[in-house]
Structure 1
Amino acid sequence: MQRISVYIPEDTRKRINIVAKAKSKAESEVIRDALEEGLEKIHPKSTSAQALLNFVKMIEKIPTKGNVPKDAVENMDYYTWGGSKRK
């Protein structure tokens, strides 16, 4: 685990203490649990199936006829993710 320092309001600190005592847990565990729950709400972990569907949607955007760049294979990273082209 990584150690970080965070400034929190006094009211939040009191709430953490109350929850920790009520659940017989360490304050650090209460904080980790709350962070994980909050992060899951604002940025859910992607499942393998969802990641695959997102990948398929991205692939569908790549042109297959007509305007395919001649250097598409050579600069696959550029056309897929952006950045700079190879020379």
Structure 2
Amino acid sequence: MVRTQIYLPKDLHQRLTRLASQRGKPMAQLVRDLIDKGLKEREEGDFSGKEALTKLFAIQATGSPKDLSQQVDHYLYGTPKRKK
């Protein structure tokens, strides 16, 4: 393992301490687990250019929504719609 030092806001540190205690794990292990989980979730969602283009072509084939140009992230990646 590689030793890494980070600075956390006090409230985040308290939440991590509390959760580690509840789970009966050292805080360092909890942080490693949470980072690993977050990275795996990010990697599993393949948002490559190829996938985005495939979705865009599918949207066009079924009839483009009128707000596609303003809400492209919503239609391609599932993010919440932007407020107008």
TM-score (norm 2): 0.49
Flag the structure with larger Rg. Answer: 1
More helix by percentage: 2
TM-score (norm 1): 0.47
Tell which has more relative contact order, 1 or 2 (C-alpha 8 A, sep 6+).
2
